[in-house]
């Protein structure tokens, strides 16, 4: 569901009458072919592609931004000192041909995203003047903030921009999601989400304050370079009420905290990997992305230019004899680094990952035998694509629990050894299947057709 958090309460009349923070938002004043008070240090559109136009929404002038290429180019304001942790609303009018989106630079190259906020989705300009509204919230770094208007795919005449107004206040819309699967289904960019369900902290990295979390439905990587969540966490914590936006980095979905508030519900919880076959992992790698997994029976080759041991930041070809995947030492200076690469088949432990189209496993360890004390068993086979029945091959008394992607238990069955269950009443979609055999549990995913 959606909530509206009013970060600064203003009456309509006060909001409309608020003073414009921007200088020359009307683009009426130009010097040496450039609009005054624009062309901030983060502008990367060529000066020759910023053109004075007499086609204006108000007044006599507007600015035309020309970028016929498909990669975006930034046009920014000068730097403004804004208030910390405060909402602001930018409005402006666009006309012409091309795509326009917004973000801001907070004045600190060492903060999250090297100082850049997440971008909004693109808006396609048309032949008529249309108003764009961009509401954002500042963080701790607010000295020299530059507002960004980014353009791409324009015609030769560009996109016209006019009547830009920045005022303090506005409403930030926050969408509440109960599970990580719901979170992963959200939109990347400036949309804000609050994870209200409990998520288990499975791994932490000092670099960029990164944290891996997962629940019964999915996993995701928290990239908290700004340190908004703080350092009062340990592996095994269950966390709730994390608020942030979604971003893709080299194809990997990340959750970027935008607020410092979050709650630790409990600590000391078991963190156990899920055993999956390489075939199942490669069949649907997104389903295992950022989840703690183990894959058995792999042969690992040395990395290019390697020395026979695991080194930081290297990619290692791995195979089960039929399928291939890349093992990546993504996490620096962990105990695995410096260990010899096994010469025989082994099990690898780590997190589902990727580098754009290359599917990877971010390695944390290798082992000769996966521990039987973990809440996973490898002697469970089941069909993962269902029509009306689901087939199971186990060794002992078995309990099958089927959860939907909202984390709700929708079906429970008992069986022994080889058996089938009727799933014809389940709706089409993805399900999490918890299989418990003689007290040991493994978790798998299945698709109901």
Task: Report pLDDT digits (tens) over 200-247.
Answer: 999 999 888 999 999 989 999 999 877 888 888 989 999 999 998 898
Give, in words, the CATH class of 178-266.
mainly beta
Question: Would you state the pLDDT for residue 289?
Answer: 97
pLDDT at 5: 39
Average pLDDT over residues 404-422: 87
What is the pLDDT at residue 25? 96
Q: What is the DSSP string of 263-287?
A: EEEE------PEE--HHHHHHSGGG
Question: What count of other Cβ atoms lies within 10 Å of the Cβ of residue 70?
Answer: 8
Residue 325: which residues within 8 A CB-CB, separation 6 or more?
278, 281, 282, 295, 318, 319, 359, 360, 361
- Mean of pLDDT values over 241-256: 92
pTM score, two decimals? 0.63
Q: Quick check: 4 pLDDT over 90?
A: no
Residues 318 and 339: their CA atoms lie apart, in Å, by: 16
CATH 3.90.550.10 fits 381-448, yes or no: no
Across the chain, mean pLDDT equals: 88
Burial (CB < 10 A; 0-12, 13-18, 19+), residue 255, is: buried
Q: What is the pLDDT of residue 360?
A: 98
Average pLDDT over residues 116-144: 90
Contacts of 244 (CB under 8 A, 6+ apart): 192, 193, 222, 255, 256, 257, 258, 259
CB contact set of 375 (below 8 Å; sequence gap of 6+)? 270, 272, 440, 441, 442
Rounded CA-CA distance 435/399 in Å is 6
Contact 229, 209 (CB under 8 A): yes
CA distance 82 to 22: 11
Confidence of residue 380 (pLDDT cuts 50, 70, 90): confident
CA–CA dist 92, 133 (Å, integer)? 7
Query: Which tens digits make up the pLDDT trace of 34-75?
Result: 999 999 999 999 999 999 999 999 999 999 999 999 999 999
pLDDT at 17: 46
Average pLDDT over residues 317-336: 94
CA atoms of 397 and 84, how far apart (whole Å): 58
Q: Can you tell me the distance from the alpha carbon of 378 to that of 445, in angstroms, rounded to the nearest whole number?
A: 14
Q: What is the mean pLDDT of residues 395-410?
A: 83
Q: Looking at residue 395, what is its pLDDT?
A: 83
Determine which of 115-119, 234-238, 373-377 has the lowest per-residue pLDDT on average: 373-377
The model's pLDDT over 68-115, given as tens digits with 9 standing for 90+, comes to: 999 999 999 999 999 998 889 999 999 999 999 999 999 888 776 788
6 touches 179 (CB < 8 A)? no
pLDDT at 58: 93
User: In the predicted model, is pLDDT for residue 153 greater than 90?
Assistant: yes
Question: What is each CA distance from 271 to 27, 198, 228, 236, 355, in whole angstroms?
Answer: 57, 14, 24, 6, 25
If you average pLDDT over residues 284-305, what whole number do you get? 94
Of residues 99 and 372, the one with the higher pLDDT is 99
Question: Mean pLDDT throughout 411-432?
Answer: 91
Class of domain 274-367: mainly beta
> Does 173 or 124 have the greater pLDDT score?
124
**Domain-by-domain residue ranges, the chain?**
2-171, 178-266, 274-367, 381-448
- What's the rounded Cα separation, in Å, for the pair 333 and 362? 13
Q: Domain 2-171 is classified in which CATH homologous superfamily?
A: Galactose-binding domain-like (2.60.120.260)
What's CA 43's distance to the chain center, in Å? 26
Dist CA 286 CA 353 (whole Å): 9
Residue with more model confidence, 2 or 170: 170
Q: Is the dihedral of CA 105, 107, 111, 114 positive or negative?
A: positive
Question: Sorting pLDDT into bands at 50, 70 and 90, what band is 370?
Answer: low
Least confident of 12-26, 57-71, 153-167, 398-412: 12-26
- Whether the domain at 274-367 and the domain at 381-448 fall into the same CATH topology: no
Judge contact between 418 and 382, C-beta under 8 A: no
| Predicted pLDDT at 369 | 66
DSSP characters over 330-373: -STT-TTTTPBPPSS-EEEEEEEEEETTEEEEEEEEEESS--TT
Query: Would you give the DSSP letter of residue 374?
Result: S
Q: How far apart are CA 298 and CA 300, in angstroms?
A: 6
Q: How many CA atoms lie within 13 A of 364 on its CB side?
A: 17
């Amino acid at each position: 569901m959606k909530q509206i958090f009013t970060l600064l309460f203003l009456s309509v009349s006060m909001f409309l009458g608020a003073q414009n923070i921007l200088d020359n938002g009307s683009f009426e004043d130009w010097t040496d072919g450039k609009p005054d008070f624009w062309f901030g240090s983060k502008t990367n559109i060529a000066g020759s592609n910023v053109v004075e136009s007499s086609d204006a929404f108000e007044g006599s002038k507007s600015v035309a931004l020309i970028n016929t290429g498909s990669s975006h180019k930034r046009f920014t304001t000068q730097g403004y000192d804004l208030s910390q942790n405060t909402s602001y609303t930018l409005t402006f009018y666009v006309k012409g041909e091309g795509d326009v989106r917004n973000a801001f630079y907070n004045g600190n190259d060492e903060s999250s995203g090297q100082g850049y906020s997440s971008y909004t989705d693109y808006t396609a300009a048309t032949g008529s003047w249309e108003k764009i509204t961009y509401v954002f919230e500042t963080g701790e770094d607010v000295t020299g903030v530059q507002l960004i208007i980014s353009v791409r795919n324009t015609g030769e005449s560009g996109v016209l921009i006019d009547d830009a107004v920045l005022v303090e206040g506005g409403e930030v819309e926050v969408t509440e999601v109960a599970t990580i699967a719901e979170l992963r289904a959200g939109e990347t960019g400036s949309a804000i989400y609050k994870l209200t369900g409990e998520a288990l902290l499975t791994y932490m990295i000092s670099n960029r304050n990164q944290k891996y979390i997962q629940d019964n439905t999915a996993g995701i990587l928290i990239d908290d370079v700004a340190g908004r969540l703080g350092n009062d966490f340990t592996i095994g914590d269950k966390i709730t009420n994390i608020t942030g936006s979604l971003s893709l980095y080299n194809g990997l979905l990340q959750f970027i905290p935008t607020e410092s508030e979050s709650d630790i519900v409990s600590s000391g919880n078991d963190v156990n990997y899920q055993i999956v076959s390489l075939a199942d992992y490669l069949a649907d790698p997104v389903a295992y992305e950022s989840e703690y997994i183990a894959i058995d029976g792999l042969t690992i080759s040395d990395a290019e230019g390697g020395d026979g041991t695991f080194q930081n930041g290297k990619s290692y070809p791995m195979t089960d004899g039929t399928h291939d995947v890349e093992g990546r030492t993504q996490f620096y200076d962990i105990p695995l680094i410096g260990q010899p690469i096994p010469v025989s088949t082994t099990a690898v432990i780590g997190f589902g990952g990727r580098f754009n189209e290359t599917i990877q496993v971010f390695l944390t360890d290798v082992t000769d035998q996966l521990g039987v004390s973990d809440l996973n068993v490898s002697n469970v086979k089941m069909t993962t694509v269902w029509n009306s029945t689901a087939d199971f091959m186990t060794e002992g008394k078995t309990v099958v629990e089927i959860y939907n992607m909202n984390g709700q238990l929708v079906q429970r069955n008992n069986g022994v050894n080889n058996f089938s269950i009727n799933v014809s009443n389940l709706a089409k979609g993805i399900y999490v299947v918890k299989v418990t055999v003689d007290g040991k549990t493994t978790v798998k995913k299945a698709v109901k057709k």
